[in-house]
Amino acid sequence: MTVLRYSIILSICILCLAGSAAAQQRTATDTVAVRAVLYGNDTIPSITLHIFDVTDKLPRRLRKQRERWTRLRNAVYVTYPYAVSAGRILKDVNRDLKTFSSKKERKEYLASKEKLLKAEFGDKLENLSVYQGKVLMKLIHRETGENCYDIVKELKGGFNARMYQTVAFFFGGNLKSEFNSQDDKDIELIVQEIQLYNRFN
């Protein structure tokens, strides 16, 4: 009885192996050709999978660092165009002011220029967050070589500069803040990234 059972099991195994060997032979109905590797007498299909990274969840410290970088990068991308415009406008204003001989002409020119700038940038700048405003002040100093306090003082007088400085102070800002290549190297890297992609000249 035991011998009979073993012979039946052996027959079934032989039939299965024969069936699998027949399945490896290519027939006319095959439609998908794949690479294969010969290993002894066997032909093994070989498929190259796309490369992908398997990463673990970032540690809290690195998540905070990435969030800080992303926030700064977004702020620079939003405010850098305004800083470039400020540098260009300030250069034009300083050039034009040299052509006026009287204080009255200078005052009228500055008033008209301020009106045009408010119409062009007023709403956009009012929508900036306090953090973006701080980044913008650093970028303006980077573009012009002057901090915002000195620019306001030069164009609108010392009283207005002190008044704006007081308002900025209440919102946690400082018109006298300046760009420092060491302390603000992250900002510089982001600016270089923007310039690399020729978004602004």
Tokens read off for 62: 């690195």
Strand-pair partners of 38:
43
User: 160 pLDDT exceeds 90?
Assistant: no
Helix (H) or strand (E) holding 18: helix 2-24
- pLDDT for 15 equals 53
Q: Which of 47-51, 123-127, 146-150 has the lowest mean pLDDT?
A: 123-127
- pLDDT for 74 equals 92
Average pLDDT of the segment spanning 178-187: 85
- pLDDT for 39 equals 83
- pLDDT for 27 equals 62
- pLDDT for 10 equals 56
User: 129 pLDDT exceeds 80?
Assistant: yes
User: 82 pLDDT exceeds 90?
Assistant: no
Average pLDDT of the segment spanning 31-50: 81
What does the CA dihedral 130, 132, 133, 136 come to, rounded to 10 degrees? 170
From CA 138, how far away is CA 186, in angstroms rounded? 12
pLDDT band at 11; cut points 50, 70, 90: low
Averaged pLDDT of the chain: 77
What's the pTM value of the predicted model, to 2 decimals?
A: 0.63
